[in-house]
Amino acid sequence: MNKTALTKTAYNEIITEQNFTPEEVLPFLTKRGHFMSVQLGITRELERLGYDITDKQHLLTAFEKLLNESKLIDKANARKWLIGGNLPSAKSKHNVPIKLCFIFRLKGTEALEFLYKVCRVNGFNFRRAKDVVYFYCLENDMSYEQATNLIDRYNNYEPQSQYIPSDATKRTHALRSTFGNLQIMAETTFFDLLCANKRNFIGYSETAHSEFKRLHDKLKTKLKDEIDDYYKYVKHAGIDKDAGGEIEVDFSDGINDGVNVFKEILYVFDKIFNSNNKKTDTPFADIVRNFPQVELLRKILRVPSAATDIATDTARKIFILVFFADYDLDPPPNEKFGDFVYALNSTLDECGYAPLYHANPYDWLIQKCAKSLDILDPTEDDNPLELYNDILGLLAEQEL
């Protein structure tokens, strides 16, 4: 299935008027062929370079040779990615996904898509000078070695002006605009512009941090109001609050913690994180891969730089979930699925995160659950968060 067909099939399954119970959602979600994988992504790039993809063993040998000739990546990784389905590691200092972009001779925008669609990393961060250099060199058919030389020269440059954090012209969008059309920029001009902005490359998005805090505080207030209303009901009805049900147990513990207000949203992950399951090439693994536990959220709210996770899509994943929870608990009047997608993508862009991708199983699941607001009967107390949790619960049961 080609790239367009894969995305279209996934999108059509999201917006269908049918298949909205957890049992109905699972068949599509658990079929690997419905979503982008590292094997498929790398195979497509090798085909684009002219390799014969019909013979898998021949393709593996060719990929190993390509990596070996590049002198950038150990050829032993070829089998891990093309056969094993392991994602290229973005956590080390070796920038493996970036190196793959150079090996595949991708342009900047092509590389951006490859990074977040295939490698599941957040793409290029225009608040980091290093990422801007990589993007420039890819756009202009330069080598990885040329990129590292430019980075070394930049690192040795001492800026003369002082960076002012409150200056709105230095926000991420301003930097993206400044370096947006790099293909027609001479290297000398680019380097001068890069150095002139050295004080503005702080490495993270202040917008992402502030948006995390805004959504967290809003949800905390919303959940506390719901708990207070529940306690009033319990007292009025003369019910033993200890036997009152899930809302007291799951919500109140989170409120008392002061940070973990998402316990009700994430309760099913207790099963996931306590699992000994190490399989990587499954839909379940794709959904929970890089998913943060509460400690990362705590850090994000305390340390601005933690909100822009440069190594994986971890911070993006939890941001999408928090945005989705806010949408479910406090939907704007007459809000429809299309409005949700537009609002979320706009906010992701402002925060420096990759947009929603229909053929990513995690993004697909969030969108499928959000679409249920247009489909499910609210008088039956059905809601997207419950659907999300129930689907994850069924997936966990299948995997454990």
pLDDT digits (tens, 9 = 90+) for 6-52: 999 999 999 998 888 889 999 999 888 899 999 999 999 999 999 99
The token pair at 144 is 């990885």
Question: pTM of the predicted model, to two decimals?
Answer: 0.83
| 263 and 378 share one domain | yes
Q: How far apart are CA 145 and CA 263, in angstroms?
A: 46
Q: Please, which contacts does 216-220 make with residues 24 or more away whose CB atoms are closer than 8 Å?
A: 216/259, 216/261, 216/297, 216/301, 216/322, 218/326, 218/330, 219/261, 219/262, 219/322, 219/325, 219/326, 219/329, 220/255, 220/261
Using the 3D structure, point to which of 101, 121, 141 is the last residue of a domain. Answer: 121
Domain assignment of residue 180, given as a range: 126-203
Residue type, 23: E
| Other residues' Cβ atoms within 10 Å of the Cβ of residue 213 | 15
pLDDT of res. 2: 64
Using the 3D structure, point to which of 121, 155, 178 is the last residue of a domain. Answer: 121
Residue 7 included in any domain: no
pLDDT of res. 97: 93
| 328 and 263 share one domain | yes
The total domain count for the chain is 3
The separation between CA 359 and the C-alpha centre of its own chain, rounded to angstroms, equals: 13
pLDDT of res. 20: 85
| 189 and 229 share one domain | no
Using the 3D structure, point to which of 188, 203, 218 is the last residue of a domain. Answer: 203
| 257 and 389 share one domain | yes
Residue 186 included in any domain: yes
DSSP state of 117: I
Kindly report, residue by residue over 351-379, the tens digit of the pLDDT. Answer: 889 999 999 999 999 999 999 888 766 55
| 370 and 259 share one domain | yes
Residue 55 included in any domain: yes
Q: How far apart are CA 44 and CA 53, in angstroms?
A: 8
| 311 and 174 share one domain | no
Residue 27 included in any domain: no
- The per-residue pLDDT of the chain, averaged, comes to 79
pLDDT beneath 50: ranges in the chain: 163-169, 241-264, 266-278
| 80 and 225 share one domain | no
